[in-house]
Amino acid sequence: MDGIHDLGGVDGFGAIKVERNEPVFHEDWEPLGYALGFLGMGLNWWTADQIRHAIERMEPRHYLSASYYERYLTGVASLYVEKGTVSQQQLEDLAGGRYPLALPATPGAQARTQEISYAVGETVLVTNTHFKGHCRMPRYVRGKQGIITHIAPPFPFAGSAGHGLEAKLEPTYHVRFQAKDLWSDAEENSSVVVDLWQSYLEKAP
């Protein structure tokens, strides 16, 4: 999904502020999203990718102003409303005010039908495809060439799993990109490794 969440390589957000000895949670409510998310997964109501897609579907201004745990809780609450377990009105009654949820779900994508495998050391090209649905391929590598460094075991294709569709098992590849090929002002001799599903890759010309 080409949304506000895909911020890799984007400038203008300032330096990352690191909190020394930062606790896992700052507020008592913050573990709630994880607890409710794993409860729904344990009941086979949704997958981890569906939670990710629900977070991606947040209204952009809400996404940028929310903390990490608020985003997670918003995504999970949206899934419970979409499941019919609770209503938005009930959430707002309990919260004592407005309770914004994710925008409606978008269509999912199927994995590529054609099987194209790759080998460690092979140069590959990332597809320059844009998705309305859930996608685990960052914008900054689309259309770029990289080298396979590792092949991971097959895993359900995220474009389908993020929408509750039957997901084809595909290997994922660790692809190393020269940072200079991604950003003109990158450090010399630096690289970035991105984990990509097989359907996101093509043979290099």
**Strand arrangement, sheet containing 123-126:** 191-197, 169-178, 145-156, 123-126, 201-203
By the 8 A CB rule, do 145 and 181 touch?
Answer: yes
52 is catalytic: yes
Residue pair 72/33 in contact by the 8 Å Cβ criterion: yes
Active site residue 68: yes
- Candidates 50, 48, 201; CA nearest to 111 is 201
Which candidate in 63, 72, 118, 173 is catalytic?
A: 72
Phi then psi for 124, rounded to 5 degrees?
-125, 165
Pairing of strands 201-203, 123-126: antiparallel
- The catalytic residues are 52, 68, 72
